A and B are shown apart, each in its own frame.
Chain A
């Protein structure tokens, strides 16, 4: 009974039929359906294996560095769980493009070899999930996700409204969500796909469509899954899965602080200049 009142207070924008039920509660105890209540998901969450350098080797830090230092490289399992080989099912031209970018990221002789993330451009919905911790705010009509690094955000309406028209493309896409039991299902369209999916040049086109599933197994654990579908770039849809944990459980006073980015960004110009110098000295 106490939890029903808590839910009513928290979900104060009740629909008219429930209103009658509330009035009825004062007189005759008719309990609301506890099963319809989504889990409490507010707070900070982070991928157990962080990092966006590579989707196939998620804990990898950089090409050749571990080798140069004589540190044995340990490969984590690919984030990609479908197809079974753990690789992105690129069309041949797209695989070629990804390899071309990957070959040049440590010597970016052209601006396109600079990762948009390095320029502080928003990561897109999937990559942002792995780059830093994120805060979930939960309201009856919305779920809001605030990513800590560079603070991009996503506002996810739960009221079943349609997506934006197709002529508006967004860095963080356009999200629409609904609950299925303990799973928040988010449909993401209108992706401009100008950001990349990893440092090593994984990419999509603006035809990209994503369906995410955030499954909360208990108060502190969640599984994140995302199916990416883009007929212009891939031969078939493919799926990422990752475990997430609740952060700052022992530090409930933790606050998300400002993370400005492009205002103070100084590395891109230097990377381009360094590469240009190296290229001309090699000639």
Chain B
């Protein structure tokens, strides 16, 4: 057992920060997802393929197969949401964006990985998530949280995270894609190399969709020297005038 630790310790620092080569690992031998990550692209505007519109660049979608299997009533709702998005998008109120939108919001987030949990701190409105990897179950529902409850376990080198206990107040993007409080996600995080984190999420919601569907994207490690999270306290922007 000790020799395994010694090997892991001697190898890891050599790989760390040198190149995009070897995956960094924890003393327990798991991939270490610690660091500052950011998604690029236009998923926060529209998770499906879209051409440019005012303020929104064109983008290839992150929805696998580019189709979101809405139930008929839900597709009509999405169309309504899209038409009203300038005021109806919860992001205009700086509400917590829900999951997975907070992953591809366009702002960076930092992962701190310990043996019992991963702590994810997002620059967006000081949001945070804990992904417990200590074998604990979800608390009993029903619970309505903006960012759900996350419990993870390792399958090989992939962190598989089960997320439930959502409210129905968030959208997946600015284009009006939405869900109910029955939303159930399974996220998969796997390091392609030290600087690229593949993120794939399976979306299930029997109230809104006819079947599960998937989104996938790549998160990039921010390697600039002394890069750090700043703040985006969006709901405070209009209020700052009261507190000069």
Contacts and interface: CB of A to CB of B under 8 A. Distances in A.
A158 B9 CA distance: 21
Contacts of B231: 122, 170-172
A151 B128 contact: yes
Given A9-B27, A157-B228, A146 B9 contact: no
Contact of A144 (B8, B112, B239): B112
Contacts of A172: 126, 231
Of the listed residues B9, B95, B110, B147, the one surrounded by the most CB atoms of chain A closer than 10 A to its CB is: B9
Nearest to A170: B231
Interface stretch (A82-90, A227-235, A237-245, A253-261): A253-261
A260 B146 contact: yes
Interface string B24-57: 0011000000100000000000000000000000
A143 to B, nearest CB: 10
A171 B236 CA distance: 10
B132 A22 contact: no
Interface string B158-196: 000000000001000000000000000000000000000
B112 A139 contact: yes
Given A9-B5, A121-B233, A144-B121, A19 B112 contact: no
A12 interface: yes
A12 B236 contact: no
Interface in B92-122: 93-96, 110, 112, 114, 119, 121
Interface stretch (A30-38, A66-74, A161-169, A273-281): A161-169
Nearest to A203: B243
Contacts of A122: 126, 231, 233
B226 A162 contact: yes
Given A14-B13, A258-B146, A155 B110 contact: yes
A263 B146 CA distance: 10
A153 B228 contact: no
B76 interface: no
A156 B126 CA distance: 15
Contacts of B6: 22-23, 26
A137 B112 contact: yes
B242 A155 contact: no
Nearest to A10: B27
A112 B241 CA distance: 9
Given A9-B5, A12-B26, A26-B6, A153 B126 contact: yes
Contacts, number: 104
A246 B179 CA distance: 40
B112 A152 contact: no
A161 B121 contact: no
A60 interface: no
Interface residues of A, number: 48
A94 interface: no
A64 interface: no
Nearest to B94: A262
B130 interface: yes
Contacts of B240: 194
Interface in A83-139: 111-112, 114, 116, 119-122, 137, 139
A245 to B, nearest CB: 22
Contacts of A258: 145-147
A260 B94 CA distance: 11
A167 to B, nearest CB: 12
Nearest to B243: A194
B74 interface: no
B119 A119 contact: no
B12 interface: yes
Interface of B: 2, 5-6, 8-10, 12-13, 16, 26-27, 34, 93-96, 110, 112, 114, 119, 121, 126-128, 130, 132, 136, 145-147, 169, 226, 228-231, 233, 235-236, 239-240, 242-243
7 contacts: A5-B5, A139-B112, A162-B226, A170-B230, A172-B231, A258-B145, A262-B94
Interface of A: 5, 8-10, 12-14, 16, 19, 22-23, 26, 111-112, 114, 116, 119-122, 137, 139, 142, 144, 146, 151-153, 155, 157, 161-162, 164, 168, 170-172, 194-196, 253, 255-258, 260, 262-263
Given A111-B242, A139-B114, A153-B126, 17 more contacts: A12-B9, A12-B26, A14-B9, A16-B13, A19-B13, A22-B6, A22-B10, A26-B6, A112-B243, A116-B239, A122-B126, A139-B34, A157-B228, A172-B231, A194-B240, A253-B136, A258-B145
